[in-house]
Amino acid sequence: MALSRSSSGERWRIRPDGTEKVTGKLAYLTDMSREGMLIGKVLRSPHPHAGIVSIHTDKARKIPGVRAVITHSDIPGMNGFGIVNPDQPVFCEDRVRYIGDAIAAVAAETPEIAQLALDNIEVHYVPLPVVDDPVKAQTKQAPKLHPGGNVLHRNQYGHGNVEMSFAKCAHIVEETYSTPRQMHTYMETEGGLFIPEEGGRLTVYSPTQHGYKDRMQLARILALPEFNIRVISSPIGGSFGGKDELNVQPYGALLALVTGKPVKIHNSRAESVRSGLKRHPMTIRMKTGVDANGAILAHQVDIVADTGAYATLGAEVLNFAIEHVTGPYLYESVAVEGVSVYTNNGVSGEFRGFGGNQAIFALEGQMDRLAARLGIDPWVFRARNMRKPKDPGPVGQAIVPTDGADQVWQSLAGSELWLNRHHQPSREPWIRSGTGAAFVMHGSGLGFGIPDPAGGMLALSDDGKIEAIFGYEEFGQGLIATLELMMIEQFGFGAEDLRIVIGDTDLVLHGGSSTASRATSMMWKSLQKLRQPFLNRLLEEASRVLALPADQLKVGIGGIRDRTSDELLLPYPRLAGEASEEIRFLTHFPFPTSPTKRIGAHYLYTYSAVAVQVEVNALTGRVKLLKQYHAVAAGPVMNPQGYLGQIEGGSGMAVGFALMEDAVMEGGHYLTKNLDSYLVPTWTDLMGDVEVHAIEELPEEDDHGPRGVGEIGSVGVAPAIAAAVFDATGIRINKLPINPELLQELPEFLREEANSE
């Protein structure tokens, strides 16, 4: 189905949270305030690597209006955070490892006083040698940044004998690819409001992708029982993975408990750049060989990822890249190795695509180069080596069979964009047109061996509202709209009958993180499990109240209706008032994982094929995206508007990854300090046509339902653009973002002048 307003009919609906968002009326958590609240600020290191000799806070404490100045000595519990590896100090004690490291925090009556207090904290540093390169960081001469050394994590995968396979190859391509340190650039920077409550409780209003994980980490830092902390976490003004880890929450929470007052912290954009997470820069060396018929025999990969000063999810991102660097293809032999390395650069972490974007950019570059070496159409070459439905997964694991690879391949091959790729008239002599494509296989969920709970709850509330209660977060992706549409279509309720409850650890279940393209899948699965018990119970109670057989009744808009005439017989508020007992059902289950015991290996995969048409201005070297075609095999579409929005939004982020975004660092310092020196795609960069073909069919035995599409729209665009640039200019790209200087040509009149001299 080609997704559009016209093809979606009545399913194309105004989002329940849409009007308030586009009119600016919606109050985000960082918009909140309380009477008498204090302003919190954090003192961060000026050095990327230094020892701390002393910290003096006396001057700051004496400033009128300053209510608290805290350092490492004021932490009652663990001085560290990190979802998996809590190696990032809340406050540094004797050493700083990057310029975002926190030394102290203050709470004051005004922002100006808080800044004055920071300026009066005296810290004596001894600068240390800076480790700003992940390759140099692995040498014996490099200073150790952590007790275990500078290697956070190594992983590998292989099958067959890659050297013997290379010996049989007719053609071998070797290339090194590098990808940038991309910023999430959410509209809402990190922040929150922290309120101490009666009885020693603390309420945290702060955007996060998983309130329960924040609560667990804050409990360790504050030395409080988890049930003493309430985390309210939605709505979020954008995240893309960047708010899955704690950011300002430890400082706001500590200051609120120390002062006994509400404390608000909200990062400026410059602070967000300095301390926030980024996409892992990776260098990926590949050597790939084929026989004379174009069958891939050998694939050898070496990945170096710069995780920065602290672990965050660096190990997991590397595992994902290793899994996806073989993609939707079959090989006689594979040898993949990777290492994630600590440096004094900014901290890398979770980012939409989770390492798959870097891996697929490199892999698809290899496929295009091999096809050219063979003299084969690159899309035909991909088909010759494509995985089949019952083949094992990329790391040899059992996966759910899917026809997705062939489905998206066929869809793209038949698309108007691809069929007309050789007929692109040029507007001006210096404009070069080209078309390229990429092929993507992307796993969802957290993978084998990683706790990945799911579930939800349905209830008839006392006021007659049908409550759908889930532990997932709305950060712009359309989760609320998708859940509402599923409740309408699968249960028969009206939108006005519903109350969607999310983002509050006091109210929702621990349903896992809103990440890894999993929330829509798990909401759908939960509703499948809850639907019949909940509907049956509503009808049983209605039957008792109305003294009518349950089989004469049905659930409908506004209440219980006559199954034949559709007459409204019992509004939900009346049913709630006369129910003999509470009507509430919950379900709890894990995200499905492969039976193959390899940590992080995925079970459910989504396929995508992307074609793009570009124009390259040979005078400026700038690339303009004209058209995109996305074929996505992700199962049934739950919300056509949201699905389309995710693919369009993901592709826009990928345009930035491909053409302009890089948070440049030098010697451990960001040269990019704000959005005046970090460009992201705007409307003018994204004006080209975007066509999205959603392939909904799943194999008959597949009962896993819809897969999430939050990430896959961002994965294949960059390699497709690189292929299109080659088609237009004959220049192969191996480094992102694409440098316009590479694509510039000397104008004809200057060439003539040069030739005449």
The CATH number given to whatever domain includes residue 560 is 3.30.365.10
pTM: 0.96
What pLDDT does residue 690 have?
Answer: 96
Q: Is residue 79 part of a domain?
A: yes
Looking at the fold, whether 324 and 374 belong to one and the same domain comes out as yes
Looking at the fold, whether 413 and 496 belong to one and the same domain comes out as no
Q: Is residue 137 part of a domain?
A: no
User: Left, alpha or beta for 683 (phi > 0: left; psi -120 to 50: alpha)?
Assistant: alpha
Cα–Cα distance between 32 and 1 in angstroms, integer? 42
CB 398 within 8 A of CB 605: no
Number of independent structural domains in the chain: 3
Looking at the fold, whether 478 and 571 belong to one and the same domain comes out as yes
Q: Is residue 10 part of a domain?
A: no
Looking at the fold, whether 567 and 436 belong to one and the same domain comes out as no
Looking at the fold, whether 459 and 354 belong to one and the same domain comes out as no
What pLDDT does residue 1 have?
Answer: 85
Instruction: Characterize 30-48 residue by residue with b for buried, 16 or more Cβ atoms within 10 angstroms of its Cβ, and e for exposed.
Output: bebeeeebbbbbbbbbebb
Looking at the fold, whether 403 and 295 belong to one and the same domain comes out as yes
> Which of 566, 590, 614 is the last residue in one of the domains?
590
Q: Which domain holds residue 418?
A: 278-447+596-743
Looking at the fold, whether 355 and 423 belong to one and the same domain comes out as yes
Q: Is residue 172 part of a domain?
A: no
Angle at alpha carbon of residue 455, lines to 354 and 222, rounded to 5°? 70
Q: Which residues pair with 122 in a beta bridge?
A: 56
What pLDDT does residue 754 have?
Answer: 64
Looking at the fold, whether 408 and 472 belong to one and the same domain comes out as no
Cα–Cα distance between 170 and 298 in angstroms, integer? 11
Tokens representing 103 are 């030394």
> Which of 223, 258, 275 is the last residue in one of the domains?
275
Looking at the fold, whether 439 and 462 belong to one and the same domain comes out as no
Q: For residue 400, which of 409, 408, 390, 410 has the smallest C-alpha distance?
A: 390
Looking at the fold, whether 349 and 404 belong to one and the same domain comes out as yes
pLDDT by residue (tens digit) across 353-406? Answer: 999 999 999 999 999 999 999 999 999 999 999 999 999 999 999 999 999 999
Q: Is residue 139 part of a domain?
A: no
Q: Is residue 736 part of a domain?
A: yes
Q: Is residue 178 part of a domain?
A: no
CB 226 within 8 A of CB 215: yes
Q: Is residue 569 part of a domain?
A: yes
What pLDDT does residue 757 have?
Answer: 63
> Which of 256, 275, 294 is the last residue in one of the domains?
275
Looking at the fold, whether 226 and 79 belong to one and the same domain comes out as yes
Instruction: Please list the ranges in the chain whose pLDDT falls under 50.
Output: none
What mean pLDDT is reported for the chain?
Answer: 96
- Residue 732's Cβ-count burial label (10 Å; 0-12, 13-18, 19+) is middle
Q: Which residues pair with 94 in a beta bridge?
A: none
Cα–Cα distance between 309 and 94 in angstroms, integer? 15
Helix (H, G, I), strand (E, B) or coil at 391: coil
Q: For residue 477, which of 5, 18, 47 has the smallest C-alpha distance?
A: 18
Looking at the fold, whether 330 and 258 belong to one and the same domain comes out as no
